[in-house]
Every structure is written in structure tokens, then in C-alpha cells.
Amino acid sequence: MQLDRLVHFHKAVGDVTRIRIIALLQSGPLHGQALAGKLGVTPPTITHHITKLREADLIYERRDKNTIYFYLNEKSLTQQAQAILNVGKSLPAAADGKHEEAQRKASVESSFFNKDGTLKHLPAQRKKKLVVLERLIKGLEPRRKYTEKEINEYIRKFHDDFATIRREFIMNHYMYRENGIYELNPPEMWGKS
């Protein structure tokens, strides 16, 4: 089962009124007025919730003359509820989140870096900015002391706005500065995305 379908299912059942509708339909089909009366809500509210449940393939309807009856799609409900237990089995690489994190970082890098490795611009969103800064910082040596001029020259290889990026290195704890000398912090101190 596709993950987006599974998420859609859980969003559909993530509402008290919808769970009550499912519970009522377990006893058999009901029409909208009957559901509204049993739940103490208006017919438009029932229409809204029925639409969400129908989109998630949890109910279906049949018309009997002028009345529409709603039925619980028990097979679909059972399959979708069971599917979450199978997610770990079908996605072993993503089970610990490392694979998804690597894909996210690669996506961010391809969006903000040119093919030659230069930076297009710093992202505004913090999570993405940290991915970019971490890539930039990797070319610097741990325990080496850099002058401001050396740091500026290093950053200029990637982007002309070396002052902003240098400031971001400090603000996000990738580096510290003392008396105009820069040094990398341990990776444990780096900004967390």
C-alpha cells in the first residue's frame, strides 16, 4: 500500500465524528438523516464527514428510490488498518529514518547548489539552511585555526556573500571565533535540523 494512501486513511479516521459514523455503520447501512439524528449533528456535517470517509474508500453508498444509504466498506477498512503494521516490513531502509534523511538532504542540496558545487543562495527555511551549511563546512579541517581572510576565501569558492555565510557558521555553532581566529566546533555542537 502506498504511504500517501495510508496517511490519507489515518487522516480520515482521525476525527471523533467519523469514528462514530464507522461504529454506527458496523450494525448496517444508514441514511444521512438517521446518522445526523443518532449523532446529534446537522445533515451538512454528516455530508462533510461522509465525503471524507468515501474518499478514503471506507464507505460506499446505494440509492433506494430517493434515499441514499451508506455502507461500511469493511474489507477496505481492515486492509488499511492492517497496512500500517506492514510498513516496516516493506521499507527496511527507512525504518530507522536514515534513508529518508539522506534523501531529504540530497534534495535540498540539488535545489540550492549548482552542478559545479557553487551555492545558488542560502535557503530561508532553517532546516534547509542547516543542510547547506553542513555541506559547506565539510571542506574545513577540524582543530585547524583559520584567519578571517582564510575563511572568507574558502567561502568565496562557493558564494560571493562570504560575510553572511561566515556569520551563519558562527550563529549555528559550526565554528567559533575568538580574536579574529576561527575554528570548527565538534559536530555534536552543530546546528540541528
Domain carrying residue 75:
1-84
165: number of Cβ within 10 Å: 22
Give the pLDDT mean for 9-14: 86
Give the pLDDT mean for 49-74: 92
Q: Are residues 168 and 111 in the same domain?
A: yes
Kindly list the strands in the beta sheet with 181-184, ordered across the sheet, starting from the edge strand earlier in the chain. 146-147, 181-184, 175-178
Domain tally for the chain?
2
Give the pLDDT mean for 39-52: 93
Does 32 reside within a domain? Answer: yes
116: number of Cβ within 10 Å: 6
Residue 99: pLDDT band (50, 70, 90) is confident
User: Is pLDDT above 70 for 95?
Assistant: no
Q: What is the CATH number of the domain that holds 160?
A: 1.10.10
4: number of Cβ within 10 Å: 8
Residue with the larger pLDDT of the pair 9 and 70: 70
Q: What is the CATH number of the domain that holds 18?
A: 1.10.10.10
pLDDT tens digits along 126-157? 999 999 999 999 999 988 999 999 999 999 99
Q: Are residues 69 and 105 in the same domain?
A: no
Residue 80: the pLDDT is 83
**With a threshold of 0.85, does the pTM exceed it?**
no
Does 22 reside within a domain? Answer: yes
Residue 1: pLDDT band (50, 70, 90) is very low
Residue that is last in its domain, among 56, 84, 112: 84
Residue 70: pLDDT band (50, 70, 90) is very high
Q: Are residues 119 and 172 in the same domain?
A: yes
Q: Are residues 79 and 135 in the same domain?
A: no
